[in-house]
Amino acid sequence: MIRHFPTIRLLPEGVVFLTDTATLVLADVHLGKSAAFRAKGLPVPEGDSARDFQRLLELSARHHAAELVIAGDLFHAPSGITPELEGALGEFLESIGIPVTLVIGNHDSGVSNLGVKLRAVPHLDLGYRVRVIHDPAHASGDLMHLSGHWHPVVRIPDGKRTSLRLPCFLLRGNTLVMPAFGSFTGGAIIRPEVGDRIFVALRDEVIELPDRLIG
């Protein structure tokens, strides 16, 4: 068992990579969101879920991942889990060829009725003192927590009455909140607190934002 704190890399795709164990961690995919919209009579086209599966496969291959962990909200709503989506999920799990674990999020209530075999747990400990949870509010103790749920977006004013809004990683205390991964997910603007550290993707890398840029 590894007894040192693992290296946590933030990738520009909005995911976390634990280099020691080659574990990819990400949050809030919201598969089947457009299908859930259509089921309620809102004409939103399909395509988001297929694209997200494709992005996950590419990420996994590029980083030679050994394991994939989803920190909650893999699905959007039970009404969005169509037979087509279940089929695509089965195919995806087969093609990715590595263990996939879902930490159950508040949108994942349909997961118990899935026809596809998917490991689903309330939370997951990863190696030395790192725990994956969905809702940052459930962080406890002095473990390092990887979480999602908030879909954090940072607002950066440019001094000309307009501003940039970028999905971001938010490190608050021992809890890292990851941006939402899904193609059809929105974000919520965070209100930074003293001591927060904020990281955003800039082209091919992730940089930490200087405090003075944050409005």
Partner 1 sequence: MSRSPLQPFFDAKGWRPFDFQKEVWEAYLSGKSGLLHAPTGQGKTLAVYLGPLVESMGDGGGCRVLWLTPLRALAADTLRALREPLEVLAPGKEAEARTGDTPTALRARLRKKLPHTLVTTPESLSLMLTHGEFAEKLAGLRCVIVDEWHELLGTKRGVQTELCLSRLRAWFPGVRIWGLSATLGNLTDARRALMGSAFEGSVEVTADLKKPIVIETLIPREMDRFPWSGHIGTRLVGQVADEIEKAQVTLLFTNTRSQTEIWFQELCAVRPKWKEQMAMHHGSLDRAERDHAENGLRDGSLKCVVATSSLDLGVDFSPVDQVIQVGSPKGVARLLQRAGRSGHQPGSVSRILGVPTHAMELVEFAAARDAALARNVESRVPLRKPLDLLVQHLVTCAIGAPFEADMMRREIESCDAFVGLTDEEWHWALGFISNGGAALAAYPRYQKARIEEGRYIVDDKRLILQHRLSIGTISSDPAVSIKFANGHTLGTVEESFISKIKPGSSLVFAGKQLTLVRFHQRTATVKLSTRKTKGQVAIWGGSKMPLSSELSHAMALRLQGYGDPVVEMKAVEPILAIQRRWSRVPSDEVLLVEHARSREGEHLFFYPFAGRLVHEGLAALVAFRISRESGVAIHTTQNDYGFSLTAQRGLVLDEEEIRFYLREEGLLDDLLECMNTAELARRQFREIARVSGLILQTPPGQKNRSQRELQSSASLLYEVLHRYDPGNLLLLQSQREILEKQLELTRLTEVIRRLHGIPMHLVETANLTPMAFPLWADRLSATLPAGDAASRLEIMLASLNTAADSIRNHTEA
- Site for partner 1 (CB under 8 A): how many residues? 41
Q: How far is the CB of 182 from partner 1 (least distance, A)?
A: 10
The mark string for 40-79 relative to partner 1 (x by CB under 8 A, - otherwise) is xxxxxxxxx--x------------------------xx--
The residue among 12 and 127 lying less far from partner 1, judged by its C-beta, is 12
Q: How far apart are CA 119 and CA 52, in angstroms?
A: 19
Tokens describing residue 75: 């699905």
Part of the chain binding partner 1 (CB under 8 A), chosen from 54-62, 95-103, 140-148, 150-158 = 150-158
Q: Does residue 169 touch partner 1 according to CB under 8 A?
A: no
Does position 156 bind partner 1 by CB under 8 A? yes
Residue 208 corresponds to which tokens in the numbers above? 């930490």
68 neighbors 103 (Cβ within 8 angstroms): no
213 binds partner 1 (CB under 8 A): yes
- In the block, tokens 């159950």 appear at 104
Taking CB under 8 A as the rule, does residue 91 contact partner 1? no
- Which of 166, 147, 167 has its CA nearest to residue 158? 166
Strand partners, 11: 15
